[in-house]
Structure 1
C-alpha cells in the first residue's frame, strides 16, 4: 500500500506534490474501514469524479465549488445550531465544565 502512495507522489510531485495521493488514500482507506468498500473501487470512483470536475474546465470547477460552498455553509450553520442547543440543554453543567478545563489546563489536578 505505501509503495503505491510513494509511486503516486513521485508521479505527481511536479504538479500537486502530495495533496492528491495522500488525500485520495485517506478517503479510500476511510471508506474501506467504515463501509468495507474495496480500495480499487473507491479509488476508481474518486478518479472518475475528480476527472469530471477537472477536465470540465474552469467553468465546471467554479460551478462545483459554488454548490460545495453552499452545502458547507448549511452544514456549518446546522452544526452551530446543534452546539447552541446542546449548551442550552446542559446549562447546569457549564460551571463544572469550565472548572474542569481550568484544573486540567493549569495542572491543579
Structure 2
C-alpha cells in the first residue's frame, strides 16, 4: 500500500481454501492468486531520532519493518528518543520522510530491555 500497489499476484495459496473466491491468473505456465495489499488504520512506530517535520532516523533493526508499517497506515504515530530542529538531519540520512508521519511522541529515556547485556557468573 505504501508503494501505491493495491494488489499483487502470488503463488502462495493457489489451489487452497485461501484462494477460493479470489481472482487467479496464469503467467508463464504458473498459476497465481491475487491478494489485496494490507492497509492499517494506525501504525505505532519506534524511531531513534526525528526532526520537527517528522523525518525519521531508525536505529539498527528498527529500520526493517517500521518504515513499511508507517507507509501502509492512514495514521502513523512515532515514538522517538530525540526531536531535533528542521535541517539537523541530512536529507541523505533520512530513513522515512515526514510525509508519512502524523504524530511524534518524545520518550527521551526509553527502557531498552532487549539491549541489556546479560553476563553469567562462571
* Higher RCO (Cα < 8 Å, 6 or more apart): 2
Query: TM range, normalised to the smaller chain?
Result: under 0.3
Higher strand share: 2
Task: Tell which structure's C-alpha radius of gyration is larger.
Answer: 1
